[in-house]
Amino acid sequence: MLDDIDLFLQVVSYGSVNRAAREMRLPKSTLSRRLAALEDGLGAALFVRAASGVVLTHAGRTLCAECERPMGALRDALTGLTDDLKALRGTVRVALPRTFAVAVCPPVLRAFARHHPDVTLELDLDDAVTDPAHGAWDAAIRIGPLPDGDLRARRLGEVRGVLVAAGAYLAGRAEPTVENLARDHCGLVFRSPSFDAAWTMLGPDGAAKTFELPVALSANDLAMLREAALQGFGVARLPRYLVADDLREGRLTQVLPGWTTTPRKVHALHPAGRRVAARVRVFLDHIAQVLHAMNLDTMRPRG
C-alpha cells in the first residue's frame, strides 16, 4: 500500500493522472488501476477528475496532509542512499527566475556540468515564486523576499536595479534629472504583481524618491524591456546585471547616476527537514561558491 500512497501523492503533485503517468513513465491504465485499488483498500474515494485535473475529496486531502511529509522524507532517504552508493548521478531539478537564469547562470551551470558529467540539470524558468517544498523541484533560486514555507535558505548575494536609456532616446531631449524625469521622459515598465508601475529609487544619500513616468511600453519580460531600451523607446528600470555589458560598452547610459533600487537578496532554497541528496548538496555548494565570488551587479569577480 505504501507504493500506492506514493503514486497518489505524485498524482497530487503533478495535478493530473495523465501527467503523472507520463512523468513517471507508467502506463496510464496501470496508474489508474493502482489508484483504484488504493481507494478500495481505504474504502473511500480520494479524488474526482475534472477538466483542470484532479480535485481531492475530503479523504484525499486528509491522506495527503498526513502522508506527504513522511513519504517525502522516505523518498529523500532512499534517494540519498542511492546517491551515496552510485556517487554523483541522476537529475537535479532547479527552479530559476527566467532573466537571472539566462543572464547570469549559463557559465555557472556549465562549470558544474564539466565537473559532474553524470548529473543532469533540469531547469524550470519562471519569474513567479516557486516553493520547492511543494513542487517537483530539488532547489530554487529566488530574488527578493523569501516565500512562506518550510525552507532552508542560503544567501548568494544581492542585486540592484538602475535606470537606463539609449543614446538614440536621449539625443535631443532634456538631460534627465530628479526634477524633470517624470515630467519630460517616458518609461518602459516591467509588468508583474511584484513590481509597481511607479519606480522607487534610492539616491546617493540613501533617501528614497518615487518616479511615475508616462508609460511608452510595458512587458512582463525584462529581456524585452532591455531590447526596447536599446532601440530607444524610453527609460527603463532594469537589473544592473542585465545591462552591465551594455553600460560598459556604451550601448546604454545610466540615467540619474548614483541612483539604484533597494538591494534585493538572492537566495538558494531547498526544503528543510529532509535529507538532501548528495548531488543536490554539491550543486548548491557550487552555486554558492561561484556567486559569492562574483559582484552580481557588475558581473565581475569581487576584489
Q: What distances in angstroms separate CA 55 from CA 10, 39, 74, 132, 221, one per listed residue?
A: 14, 15, 25, 21, 32
Whole-number Å distance between alpha carbons of 123 and 188: 28
What is the pLDDT at residue 187? 97
Share of the chain above pLDDT 70, in %: 88
Q: What distances in angstroms separate CA 282 from CA 63, 92, 108, 112, one per listed residue?
A: 33, 10, 13, 9
Whole-number Å distance between alpha carbons of 64 and 282: 30
| Residue 228 predicted with pLDDT over 90 | yes
Read off the pLDDT of each residue in 80-89 and give the average, rounded to a whole number. Answer: 62
- Count CA atoms closer than 13 A to 107's CA, side-chain side: 7
What is the pLDDT at residue 80? 61
Residue whose grid cell is 560598459 = 248
Is 242 or 275 the better-scoring residue by pLDDT?
242
Least confident of 128-137, 214-223, 278-287: 128-137
| Residue 134 predicted with pLDDT over 70 | no
- What confidence category does residue 261 fall into, taking pLDDT thresholds of 50, 70 and 90? very high
Read off the pLDDT of each residue in 107-111 and give the average, rounded to a whole number. Answer: 92
By the 10 Å C-beta count (0-12 exposed, 13-18 middle, 19+ buried), 17 is classed as buried
Residue whose grid cell is 540592484 = 160
Sequence-separated contacts (24+) of 204-207 with Cβ below 8 Å: 204/258, 204/259
Is 256 or 196 the better-scoring residue by pLDDT?
256
* Beta-ladder partners of 50: 53
| Residue 284 predicted with pLDDT over 80 | yes
Please give the DSSP secondary-structure letter assigned to residue 123.
E
| DSSP secondary structure, 1-63, as one string | -HHHHHHHHHHHHHSSHHHHHHHHT--HHHHHHHHHHHHHHHTS--EEEETTEEEE-HHHHHH
146-176 residue pLDDT tens:
877 778 889 999 999 999 999 999 998 999 9
Read off the pLDDT of each residue in 236-256 and give the average, rounded to a whole number. Answer: 96
65-76 residue pLDDT tens:
877 777 766 666
| Residue 118 predicted with pLDDT over 70 | yes
- What confidence category does residue 16 fall into, taking pLDDT thresholds of 50, 70 and 90? confident
Q: Which of 153, 272, 167 is nearest to 230 (CA)?
A: 167
Read off the pLDDT of each residue in 18-32 and give the average, rounded to a whole number. Answer: 83
| Residue 132 predicted with pLDDT over 60 | no
- What confidence category does residue 20 fall into, taking pLDDT thresholds of 50, 70 and 90? confident
What the chain holds in terms of domains, given with CATH numbers, is: 2-68 (1.10.10.10), 87-156+264-301 (3.40.190.10), 161-255 (3.40.190.290)
166-225 residue pLDDT tens:
999 999 899 999 999 999 999 999 988 778 889 999 999 999 999 999 999 999 999 999
Read off the pLDDT of each residue in 35-59 and give the average, rounded to a whole number. Answer: 81
- What confidence category does residue 238 fall into, taking pLDDT thresholds of 50, 70 and 90? very high
